Amino acid sequence: DKFYETSSLFFSKALSFVYKSQTPYKMARSKKDTSAEDERKANLRKDIDFVEHTWPAEKLYSHFGCTLEKGLSSEQVLINRGKYGENRLTPPAVTPWYIQYLLQFKNFFAGLLLAGGTLCFIGYGIDPEKDQTNLFLGIVLYIVVTITATFSYLQEAKSEKIMEGFKNMIPKKCKCIRDGKNTVVDAWELVPGDVVDLLDGDSVPADIRVMQANELKVDNSSLTGESEPQDRSTDLAKDAQGNLVMQPLEASNLCFYTTIINSGSGRGVVIGSGDRTVMGQIAGLATETSNEASPINIEISKFIQLISAVAITLGVAFFIVGFFNLEIIQNVVFMIGIIVANVPEGLLATVTVSLALTAKRMHTKNVLVKNLEAVETLGSTTIIASDKTGTLTQNRMTVMHAWVDNETYLCPPGKNIPDLAVLKQTPADEPYYDESSPAFKRLLQVATLCNNAEFLTKNDDGSYMDLKAEMNNPNFNILKQAATGDASEQGLLKLVQPLNDALETRAACPKIFEIKFNSTNKWQLSIHSQGAGRPPLLVLKGAPERVLGMCKSYYAKGEKKEINAAYNKTYTEAYEGLGGRGERVLGFAYKELTGMKDDFKFSSKPSPNFTMDDLTFVGLISLIDPPREGVPEAVIKCNRARVKVYMVTGDHPITAAAIAKQVNIISQENIDAGDAIVVKGDTIREWTEIADPIEQQKKWDEALDHKQIVWARVSPAHKLLIVENCQRRGEIVAVTGDGVNDAPALKKGDIGVAMGIAGKDVSKEAADMILMDDNFASIVNGVEEGRLIFDNLKKSIAYTLSSNIPEIAPFLIYMTAKIPSPLTTVLILCIDLGTDMVPAISLAYETKEADIMDRPPRNAQTDRLVNFRLISFAYLQIGMIQALAGFFVYIVVLNDYGYAPNILMGNGWEWAKHSVMCTINGDGSPKDCGFGCEAEDYEPGYCEGGCQVPSSNNIDPFVEFTASGFRGAGDYTCNRACSNYADIPDDKITAEEREKFVGFCAGDQTWGFSDRGFADDDAIAPVGAKYYWNGQQQNLPNKEYQQNALAYAQCAYFISIIIVQWADLLICKTRKLSLFQQGLQNDFMNFGLLFETVLGATLVYASPLNTVFGTMPLHILHWFPAVPWSMFIFTYDEIRKALMRGNPDGWLNAYTYW
């Protein structure tokens, strides 16, 4: 039962890996269907084919049969729905669940196990003794296949869950105009041509062209990665050359399905619904993309195939040999034994536990591992394709620079007042601002007053935080404090707070009038009371060129001066310099409204009743979504480990390049040398339009040959193409992302890494790992852990495979040399799933080697998990020594029980059924041995079927013995009977025996054994042989003694494997270093050594277990013959490693370093 239980564990694990490496089944299709499917996939990888956003309004209305005031008529809704379909995402084609389930059995390995189970049932059926072993094994094999198929089937539900994630994003209701009336409808009912009202906070129900807009802003971050809300207007977007922008994601008059209206309101016409939307395209890509088999999955699958091929080949080969010599049932059991001996049953359990242990360690580093195999994949990664916003950056706009007093200063915000003091003392390449400068103080005042952002200070218990007091707390972080307002205003507020309390500044100058920002003016204005009889203060912020155009003077170094050409030149250089760094630049101005009082009725309609063209320009502040802490260092670590890091973002190329430089993804030096490149989405579009696939591939290769790459302004389809082309070149790609747009690439990548905090549910579902802190630096920890686990898995495999040879060899020698079997199948399983398990797992606890992040990623084509050098080491070196140790101990023990080595060969097949007989030398040692005739066990009295007991005085002419011993080989030894005694030649019968025949046969001619043959035609005892046991000839057989002696020898062989595995475990701790350099700090390994020894002793000396596993209470002295062999293994490997270290380029290193 133990055999079947443990075999079930192995086969379940093995099958799960094999199944998961299979590509999902697709229903058979015609060539036409296949062509259509290929065309659909190709179209998904292109930009969506919208042109309606470039049409004049009249053409748009005419095309869809609508008007902006009345919308669609009820009749037109039905017509359009018939033409365009419902506003739903089409789920992927699904094979019926029962077909999917049955197809899990369509697998070579599953078929092999099912065939084995069928053979077991057949064997049980034809076995006259009805041995329950075959029945149980057959049942277990069928159960294993069924359970594993069920497990595999459940794993394939992933794509359906991803589609559910998209469905959860779809708005339920929306407001539209039909038949001239405002109405609320389910979002799925919308059709192209519907006129929809968009309000603040709404989820956009389809792809909509904006026809009316009032300060409309939309949050596109889930689609494009842009941190800032994007303005939406009715204007047709045009590029720098004045051409219409055809690419939908670049258009400013489109709102996209499932994005959020950030502020303002508008009205628009639906131009895309359901699958024909940008979101529909992403959903199609995410559910169409197949899961790629992980590198460790591929390695394990190949290893299983290799081991299975070897096991099956040997099993079948020896089954054929045994077919002519063994009974069919015995032969089947023998074949199963060969297969069991070849397959390291505990290996996959070891792999799984090792991966789980690493995943647990990763969790302490804020990485949640959904797919265990992903851990090792990260270690094999050659390219990390990372999203920018929220992964490399903090996903919050933060002030970086200020241009004031005609100089550009570094202006980083502090977390609190103590942190700010430390920050300003930190050495930097640029000067910090002068806090005492009058112009800087004025700039802060304008940034505080002309700002609608406010901190949210209410606590969960209803009390309010004292923000001013908290600013003195060194543990408080104002940068993470929640606030209202848009991202830029929040960034300005967080800059100001550690310098001047915003509430106090605003309380001193209460607001009395405001003109809000709009996309036409591109500025925001507010007027404040200064009290104490001073005139009202006008403050303005906005697009620098607009703000400067409203100014006649500037304020610098405490003086107000008139703007001139020199100042304009200085301003332009500063503005372009900051913009060139990818920073968003805002201009600030002010004016004291002399001659006006606070109670003046300010108005902006129909036009402002106060002057706005003579302001004083005070300076610039630039903001950027800054890199996360630790990211620049993490990228450097990746570069050192030869892992390329690509930035893949939908953001502007200048912004992307600026951030990429800050985090070391690209360098100016490499850009100048032509080794770094920024690839725009427009460029990828041009590549996809190339008809010749070879030429198109050439374009991709030219770009991917660069050392450093930033991919900017790319669409979700482009991200997928980037991943696919990297994989085409043999790269192992890790993809990071947090938005819906990242889902296809996350699923297609060799490993997908989603963000735990900012990540959308769709991206988390598609990913293999989740960064709980959204920090890119955690990925680098994963790379390190992945490399470590690959190293340690190699060590575990080397350790585990070494015992395969001493497990296989007994069966091979038993079959070829016909010695009594030195090892049983049950004891093999005791090793693989017992004594070897904990030591093999303990290697997962080995610490990393010093150079683990200084070497390149492993080459998947050459640096295999199991390569020739490892096989050579485990099988041909250590395994051979272990097998010799086992045979040595086996021979010693049998010799101690009286069976000398020279009598074993040729006599093994009948050892369990018949007692061996031998002639002896003069010193009493056995000379020649063999077996007698087929017979039942001896019982005192009548021997039915013939006696095995030699006659001493009375002559029995029917038996195979004479007074001097066995009659020997010949035609008339075992088959002497009344029916044939007359034919026995004189040299085979004495006169006295013939006389006895006459007397016995006169009354009954049926006496004798005419049908009896030899026990083993190839191992017939010589003439004069007698039973041999306990080291001497005997008159009576003692099959029990003979079987027990073999059981003791088999038990000693088992213990010898444990002892030589002590040395194997120690030498597998390192691949090149000496054990004396590495040390024995791995406490779990030390426990493993103790565990396998105690378990082995328990199996040997616990009486109940002797019956279950066929072990014997071994004499303590029989533990020691294997010890010198264990010492030899350790010494051999230490010398090998020393020679490798002394000559790194030598033969030993080339052919034995695994």
How far apart, in whole angstroms, are the C-alpha atoms of residue 403 and residue 412? Answer: 13
In the prediction, which pLDDT does 391 show? 81
Average the pLDDT over 712-719 and give the result.
85
CA dist., res. 475 & res. 494, Å (int): 16
d(CA 635, CA 647): 11
Residue 11 has pLDDT above 70, yes or no: no
Strand partners, 973: none
- Predicted pLDDT at 157: 47
Q: Is the pLDDT of residue 403 over 60?
A: yes
CA separation for the pair 377, 357 (Å, rounded): 15
Q: Highest mean pLDDT: which of 276-280, 745-749, 1024-1028?
A: 1024-1028
Lowest model confidence (mean pLDDT) among 66-80, 300-314, 554-568, 967-981: 300-314
What pLDDT does 848 receive?
78
Tens of pLDDT, residues 765-784: 778 888 888 778 788 888 88
Contacts of residue 731, Cβ cutoff 8 Å, sequence gap at least 6? 382, 383
Alpha helices for 128-215 (secondary structure H)? 132-155, 158-169
Q: Check residues 734 and 765 and name the one with the higher pLDDT.
A: 734
Question: At residue 1094, does pLDDT exceed 80?
Answer: yes
More confident residue, 744 or 110: 744
Write out the H or E segment, with its range, that includes residue 522: none
The stretches of 156-262 forming alpha helices (DSSP H) are 158-169, 221-224
Q: Answer whether residue 189 shows pLDDT above 60.
A: yes
Q: What percent of the chain has pLDDT over 70?
A: 86
Q: Answer whether residue 344 shows pLDDT above 50.
A: yes
Residue 142, CB half-sphere, CA atoms under 13 Å: how many?
Answer: 11
pLDDT band at 1116 (very low <50, low <70, confident <90, very high): very high
Which two three-digit tokens encode residue 746?
Answer: 């996350």
pLDDT band at 863 (very low <50, low <70, confident <90, very high): confident
Please tell me which of 260-264, 769-773, 1043-1047 the model is most confident about, judged by mean pLDDT: 1043-1047
pLDDT on residue 938: 46
Residue 16 has pLDDT above 50, yes or no: no
Predicted pLDDT at 955: 63
Q: Which residues contact 71 (CB under 8 A, 6 or more apart)?
A: 176, 177, 178, 179, 180, 194, 195
For residue 1086, what pLDDT band results from cuts at 50, 70 and 90?
A: very high
The residues, ordered by sequence, that sit 6+ positions from 1072 with a Cβ below 8 Å of its Cβ are: 1137, 1140, 1141, 1153
The DSSP bridge partners found for residue 639 are: none
In this predicted structure, the answer to whether residue 20 has a pLDDT above a threshold of 80 is no
Q: In the chain, pLDDT over 90 holds for what percent of residues?
A: 36
Give the CB-side neighbour count of residue 597, counting CA atoms within 13 A. 3
How is residue 473 written in tokens? 């707390």
pLDDT value of position 1077: 82
- Residue 125 corresponds to which tokens in the numbers above? 């059926």
Out of 154-163, 335-344, 956-965, 1034-1043, the most confident range is 1034-1043
Q: How large is the average pLDDT for residues 379-408? A: 89
β-bridge mates for residue 676, sequence order: 708
Q: How far apart are CA 1018 and CA 254, in angstroms?
A: 90
Distances in whole angstroms, Cα of residue 270 to Cα of each of 177, 183, 284, 483, 1133: 12, 15, 20, 34, 74
Q: Which amino acid is at 142?
A: Y
- Residue 160: the pLDDT is 47
pLDDT for the residue 799:
92
- CA separation for the pair 475, 492 (Å, rounded): 21
pLDDT for the residue 1113 = 95
Rounded Cα distance between 190 and 187, Å, is 6
Q: How far is CA 975 from the centre of its chain?
A: 69
| Residue 679, pLDDT score | 94
Give the chain's mean pLDDT. 83
CA atoms lying within 13 Å on the CB side of residue 311:
22
Model pLDDT for residues 276-302, shown as the tens digit of each residue: 888 887 777 766 655 556 677 777 777
More confident position, 126 or 771: 771
Q: What single-letter amino acid sits at 1045?
A: A
- Nearest CA among 470, 406, 476 for reference residue 434: 406
> Residue 514: is its pLDDT beyond 80?
yes
DSSP designation for 1079: -
pLDDT of residue 1117: 94
pLDDT band at 153 (very low <50, low <70, confident <90, very high): low
Q: Catalytic annotation on 613?
A: no
More confident residue, 244 or 348: 244
Q: For 618-634, write each residue's pLDDT tens digit.
A: 999 999 988 888 889 98
Q: What end-to-end distance do the CA atoms of the chain give, in Å?
A: 37
Helices 2-20 and 132-155 meet at what angle, rounded to 10? Answer: 30
Contacts for 573 with CB less than 8 Å, ≥ 6 apart: none
**Among the listed ranges 306-320, 722-736, 1025-1039, which one has the minimum average pLDDT value?**
306-320
What does the angle CA 379 – CA 385 – CA 387 come to, to the nearest 5 degrees?
125
pLDDT tens digits for 627-662?
A: 888 889 989 988 888 899 999 988 888 888 989 998
Return all residues near 514 (Cβ < 8 A) that are at least 6 apart: 524, 525, 526, 527
* Of 913 and 65, more confident: 65
Range from 158-172, 788-802, 887-901 that averages highest in pLDDT: 887-901
Whole-prediction pTM: 0.66
Burial of 953 (0-12, 13-18, 19+ CB in 10 A): exposed
- Mean pLDDT, residues 1022-1044 taken together: 89
**Gap between the Cα atoms of 597 and 615, Å rounded:** 18
How much is the pLDDT for 405?
95
Active-site pick, 387, 598, 832, 1016: 387
pLDDT exceeds 80 at position 406? yes
Is the pLDDT at 507 greater than 90? The verdict is yes
Write out pLDDT tens, residues 419-474: 998 888 888 888 999 999 999 999 999 999 999 999 988 887 878 888 989 999 99
pLDDT in tens, 197-239: 998 888 899 999 999 988 888 988 767 766 678 888 888 877 6
Taking residue 435's Cβ as centre, other Cβ atoms within 10 Å add up to 12
944 pLDDT more than 90: no
Q: What is the mean pLDDT of residues 150-179?
A: 62
**DSSP H or E segment with residue 320:** helix 295-323
Contacts for 394 with CB less than 8 Å, ≥ 6 apart: 625, 626, 627, 628
Instruction: Say if residues 618 and 446 touch (Cβ distance below 8 Å).
Output: yes
**CA-CA distance, 250 to 715, in Å (whole number)?**
10
pLDDT classification of 105: cutoffs 50, 70, 90: confident
pLDDT of residue 4: 33
